[in-house]
Structure 1
Amino acid sequence: MKQLKHDTWVKPYMTKYKGLLTLILVLGLITFICGGALMFTSGYLISKAATKPENILLIYVPVVLVRAFGIARPTFRYLERLTSHNWVLKVTSDLRKRLYKTLAKDAAFFQQHFKTGAILGILADDLGHLQNLYLRTIFPTLISWLLYVLIVIALGFFNWFFALAIALLLAVIIFLLPLVSVAVLGARVERRKQLRHDLYTDMTDDVLGLSDWVISARQTDFLARPQPTLKAARANTLQTRRFEWRRDFLIQLLFGVIILVLMVWTNQQFTANQGLANWIAAFVLCLFPLVDAFAPVSQGVEEWPLYMTSVKRLNNLQPAVRTLPQQQTLTAPVASLDFQQVDFKYATAQALILQQFDLHITAGEKLAILGPSGTGKTTLLDLLLGELTPQAGQVTLNHIPIAALQQQRAQLIGMLDQKPFLFNTTVLNNIRLGNLQASDEAIMAALRAVELGPLMARLPAGANTVVEEAGARFSGGEQQRLALARVLIQDAPIILLDEPTVGLDPITEKALLNTIFKVLADKTVIWVTHHLQGIEHADQVIFLEQGQIAMQGTPHELYQTNARFRKLYQLDQGLV
């Protein structure tokens, strides 16, 4: 419970949707009351009918009640399930929106501190655990507690000593055994989660590496490999199942004891005459449906430690949000872009990535940024976007700090990166992401500009064709051209290119670069690249090394005057 003391991901929704929560509990309670009442009236009806009443009207009321409770029980059960799942869908929607807003507050922070798999784990795993926390633990437990109180009070009207005895027996089922389940299975459940994660990793390696095993003719070795993780997972599952079997058997045994106690008590209370004896079966039978209310409590509570791990992780998901300066609006066309004495290092790094870095870029200039991996090429782009804040110095547009232009960033800067994401919707919708107000005609013009007009004509539904998951319908070069069309529709004056041709063959790469610099001829382009293919498109080239510009100039000047650049160019072109 310590995790819930300062919780902001579970408790707030209990209050926000308290009306719906009350309805869930009432419907759940009525469901089990109707189930018990159905068996109660059925038991009375059976006993009364066995005495051969002189007139059918003497048992007409219990006949009607049996039919009424028989219809009411599944009806209220359905309504309770419908309402509880409606609750969960509302809460999950709120949680996902909240998670998105939390991540969106500072995307660069999460890129530094969280892997994509961790975020996907929160979305798929932790939020799923919160759903189960409500459906499998909170709702059944609250309903069982309410029912427990009602049963004890109802029996108290007849005999408080007997009510106390039943209360103690039921308390073992709904209080003691759940606590024992948490104590025994808590560590096993956490271990099972870790083993499942390891199994996913092993499975990914097996699936993605299967062709390499086959190519190396080691299929037999692949099949004969020891699988300790799988064996450990099986052992964990078997241990858990054995405990659950014993616990569930004990629950059924305790219910058997309660039924025997109830039979003894009713025989003492209702055997004075035949009329009273008819109630014995009614009291005994009404207890059977209550097994469904009390038995699931232990099953739902046993994964409490796993739920609390998810709650803890979500509550710790507090990104460091930067305080931005007062926002301004850039009204004049972009004339210059400047890095002024910029120092930057990541929070987890010791050394500076950039040190006293200066760079001036004029409007319309095409700048290529080269350098070994880890020298800060992509960091420069993040600083220019305002995703990162330098420890010293500043990045400015028209002498206005980029941090003060964040509300206008989408109108100022566009970006084409290594692997732009295409959503599983139509080509038109994917391109329109760059400008939600763009017309179909404008989008088609952008597609023709990036030389995808003939491809659109060949597609089954033209630009209304679905691109499939992650753009699987198209090749790598075609996906980049679609993303380039999205950039064109955005119509920002500054375009950032973060190695957009990685993974493409040389012919496709050359054709794509020609198209990129053709359609972006009137834009300011900052191009991070790992080699010199298409470098002739750049007006200026800089080479980063140890946080500084090691060489700078036009491609022609550097080729003529810088031996290092000349050697790199010749190596890249296969001339040496």
Structure 2
Amino acid sequence: MINRIPILKALKNDRWVRPFLKRYKKTLILAIFLGILTFFCGGGLMFCAGYLISRSAARPENILLVYVPIVLTRAFGVFRPAVRYVERLVSHNWVFRMTSKFRQQLYDSLERDATNFNSKYQLGDILGLLSDDVSHIQNLYLRSIFPMMVAWGLYAIIVIGLGWLSPLMGLWMLVVFGLIIFAIPIWSVLVNGARQTYEKQMQDKLYADLTDNVMGVNDWVLSGRGSAFLKLHVKDQQELFEVDQVMKKFERWRDYTFQLVYLLAIVSLIIWGMFRFGQKDTYYTNWIAAFALALFPTVSAFAGLPAAAQETNIYKNSLNRLNNLPGPEVENKKAITLKAPYEIDLKDVHYTYPKTDKEILHGLNLTIKNGEKLAILGRSGAGKSTLASLLRGDRTPDSGSITLNGISTDQFGNQIANYFSIINQNPYLFNTTIGNNLRLGNEDATDDQLWDVLRRVGLDQMVEKLPQGLETEVDEAGLRFSGGERHRLALARILLKDTPIVLLDEPTVGLDPITEQAVIDTFMTQLKGKTLIWITHHLQGIDQMDQVIFLEDGKIYMQGSPKELWQTEQRYRELKRADQGL
């Protein structure tokens, strides 16, 4: 049966959603209890009202026979909306707490594997995970799992309560409500679930075909096949409409069947009441209406179960997508503490992007010593950025090793930020104050420390002239500042972080030659004594480096100091002259 119901199979193998059931089980139990109590109050209200109406039709021997039901009717009438309100607060609080932690784990998982997304996942899958899928998981609880648990609780109360009065009636209600709670929802999933999946596939196909055809509508027109295009679209739309009509027809019959079964339960209760209480004096006949009316408010607890069960086919895809991601386990790596000197060692490193056959790096061997300034040059696609990702541990080599003081860089996790800082082509500044942007490097930095790093990167006078100094808003993406100023602010953050290794990933791309040289000089001066890895595509400022390597076709083509390469490599001299415009 589990294999026939997709959501049960997805939940059975789930490692994302199920842990939250245990983590927030107390709140979940309270929410379910309040949900059951809400319908219990509704049933109690109708029970007392039914008794009161029936009893008031005859002259009561004692005023208490009417007064007590009046008080209970008022009590249940007040408690029902109050408990309902509290139940909504608790259940939604539970779900939102759960999804908050769930989103955090999802984002952490996506972040840990962010560099591989373009090669491992389709963009639509990622966007789906970040939008619809989280909402689907939320609805899975609020609209399916939670109502089912409340319905099961009421089911138990009804069967046990009537079974205590009459075992035979309790057994009959076990069967009748079993049809309502289990048989009809499962029937809905098995019959309409497949149609729903097919409808979703058709909608996706229709959208894809329509998009492709609209994008190429000129080709249809020029080829004289405009009418064929319209017919194709109308045909697909008609087929989708027919499937939708079949589903709605089934839903009407399903709801009608549900109403008949529920009517059977009410009629059974009336007949049972007649035999149980009707043979006695008139006092007991008042209970017939009480028991029959008490069942009416509970219909809303059971009526939505078939539709909720059917919707789980939508949630199944979200669960499957989540479980195809890397695990949601919180990163719990052992603390790594290294001491200077810091040395990076690459041994026979090979790397191929997932889902491709092209090997980007072939057997790289390289040692970067403490405090060394290394330039990595090469054409686009030579493997420079891939090497940078490997050095930071964002990627893992297919074979070989990359270690920092003997520890593989992919073992550091988030702790790599304690040793590596990076400035890339477009340093990002957030739409907040200059001070807040700088404190990304050190949250505890004082204003004096901020002014110190601004002075070191040559921006102190410029910031002093701004309207609010450090409290000046930088605007979205830092558009208030020029490219060179953004790079200097990024360097200021690095100086506050004070990591021993700094990676510059083509930081001067797009800058004019004068600004570029000024930024390079600032980098070299302020990062003196640190290990500097500079990825670049040309040779301006290269003479300030200790070692230069040229990557070509994933291998080190040239290696040595700038002076050595000038003396021994004809190609280096040609590149240097070309870069200088000679």
Fold in common (TM above 0.5): yes
Deviation track 1:210-255 (CA, whole Å, cap 9, x = no partner) reads xxx9xxxxxxx9xx99978998887776665554444334433433
Match of 2:359, SS state, is coil
In structure 1, the residue matched to 2:43 is 36
Moved more, 232-241 or 45-54: 232-241
In structure 2, the residue matched to 1:292 is 300
In structure 1, the residue matched to 2:19 is 12
In structure 2, the residue matched to 1:515 is 519
Q: Contact 2:109/2:328 (CA < 8 Å) preserved in 1?
A: no
RMSD between superposed Cα atoms in Å: 4.7
In structure 1, the residue matched to 2:128 is 121
Residues in 2 aligned to 1:545 and 1:158: alpha-carbon distance in whole angstroms: 87
**Cα 1:169/1:384, change in 2 over 3 Å:** same
The one-letter amino acid of 1:171's match is: G
Deviation at 1:146, TM superposition (A): 2.0
Match of 1:173, SS state, is helix
Deviation at 1:557, TM superposition (A): 6.7
The one-letter amino acid of 2:58's match is: T
Residues in 2 aligned to 1:58 and 1:52: alpha-carbon distance in whole angstroms: 10
Residues in 1 aligned to 2:91 and 2:80: alpha-carbon distance in whole angstroms: 16
Question: 2:557 aligned with 1:550, yes or no?
Answer: yes
Residues in 1 aligned to 2:200 and 2:471: alpha-carbon distance in whole angstroms: 42
In structure 1, the residue matched to 2:422 is 415
Residues in 2 aligned to 1:473 and 1:295: alpha-carbon distance in whole angstroms: 58
Question: 2:542 aligned with 1:532, yes or no?
Answer: no
**Aligned-pair identity (%):** 42
Residues in 2 aligned to 1:161 and 1:203: alpha-carbon distance in whole angstroms: 60
Matches within 5 A, 1:196-345: 240=247, 243-272=250-279, 273-318=281-326, 329-332=338-341, 334=342, 337=344, 339-345=346-352
In structure 2, the residue matched to 1:216 is none
In structure 1, the residue matched to 2:221 is none
The one-letter amino acid of 1:154's match is: G
Normalising by structure 2, we get a TM-score of 0.77
Matches within 5 A, 1:329-478: 329-332=338-341, 334=342, 337=344, 339-346=346-353, 348-359=355-366, 361=368, 363-365=371-373, 367-373=375-381, 375-391=382-398, 393-395=400-402, 409-422=416-429, 426-447=433-454, 449-450=456-457, 453=460, 456=463, 462-464=469-471
In structure 1, the residue matched to 2:499 is 492
Q: How many residues align?
A: 554
Residues in 1 aligned to 2:285 and 2:191: alpha-carbon distance in whole angstroms: 44
Match of 2:394, SS state, is coil
Deviation at 1:414, TM superposition (A): 1.0
**Cα 1:95/1:155, change in 2 over 3 Å:** same
**Cα 1:96/1:78, change in 2 over 3 Å:** same
Question: 2:155 aligned with 1:148, yes or no?
Answer: yes
The one-letter amino acid of 1:251's match is: F
The one-letter amino acid of 2:338's match is: T
**Cα 1:56/1:247, change in 2 over 3 Å:** same
Question: 2:183 aligned with 1:179, yes or no?
Answer: no
Residues in 1 aligned to 2:209 and 2:446: alpha-carbon distance in whole angstroms: 47
In structure 1, the residue matched to 2:3 is none
Residues in 1 aligned to 2:451 and 2:237: alpha-carbon distance in whole angstroms: 52
Residues in 2 aligned to 1:151 and 1:168: alpha-carbon distance in whole angstroms: 12
Q: Say which of 141, 165, 188 aligns to 1:134.
A: 141
Residues in 1 aligned to 2:521 and 2:81: alpha-carbon distance in whole angstroms: 67
**Cα 1:38/1:450, change in 2 over 3 Å:** farther
**Cα 1:328/1:536, change in 2 over 3 Å:** closer
Match of 2:499, SS state, is coil
Deviation at 1:399, TM superposition (A): 7.8
Matches within 5 A, 1:84-99: 84-99=91-106
The one-letter amino acid of 1:532's match is: H
Q: Contact 1:344/1:391 (CA < 8 Å) preserved in 2?
A: yes
Residues in 2 aligned to 1:146 and 1:260: alpha-carbon distance in whole angstroms: 22
**Cα 1:514/1:473, change in 2 over 3 Å:** closer
Deviation track 1:316-368 (CA, whole Å, cap 9, x = no partner) reads 43469999999562323x5x655454333345444532223344556352514
Match of 1:302, SS state, is helix
Q: Contact 2:376/2:384 (CA < 8 Å) preserved in 1?
A: no
Moved more, 345-354 or 60-69: 345-354
Q: Contact 2:487/2:519 (CA < 8 Å) preserved in 1?
A: no
Match of 2:15, SS state, is coil
**Cα 1:38/1:510, change in 2 over 3 Å:** farther
**Cα 1:420/1:237, change in 2 over 3 Å:** farther
**Cα 1:33/1:390, change in 2 over 3 Å:** closer
The one-letter amino acid of 1:330's match is: K
Q: Contact 1:481/1:512 (CA < 8 Å) preserved in 2?
A: no
**Cα 1:49/1:193, change in 2 over 3 Å:** same
Q: Contact 1:497/1:525 (CA < 8 Å) preserved in 2?
A: yes
Normalising by structure 1, we get a TM-score of 0.78
Residues in 2 aligned to 1:534 and 1:339: alpha-carbon distance in whole angstroms: 26
Residues in 2 aligned to 1:561 and 1:107: alpha-carbon distance in whole angstroms: 39
- Structure 2 stretches of 5 or more lacking a match? 1-7, 219-225
**Cα 1:268/1:390, change in 2 over 3 Å:** closer
- Structure 1 stretches of 5 or more lacking a match? 214-220
Deviation at 1:455, TM superposition (A): 6.6
Deviation track 1:501-540 (CA, whole Å, cap 9, x = no partner) reads 55x4x54x863663254144224432333x4385567636
Moved more, 300-309 or 68-77: 300-309
Q: Contact 2:377/2:538 (CA < 8 Å) preserved in 1?
A: no
**Cα 1:163/1:325, change in 2 over 3 Å:** closer
Residues in 2 aligned to 1:481 and 1:135: alpha-carbon distance in whole angstroms: 49
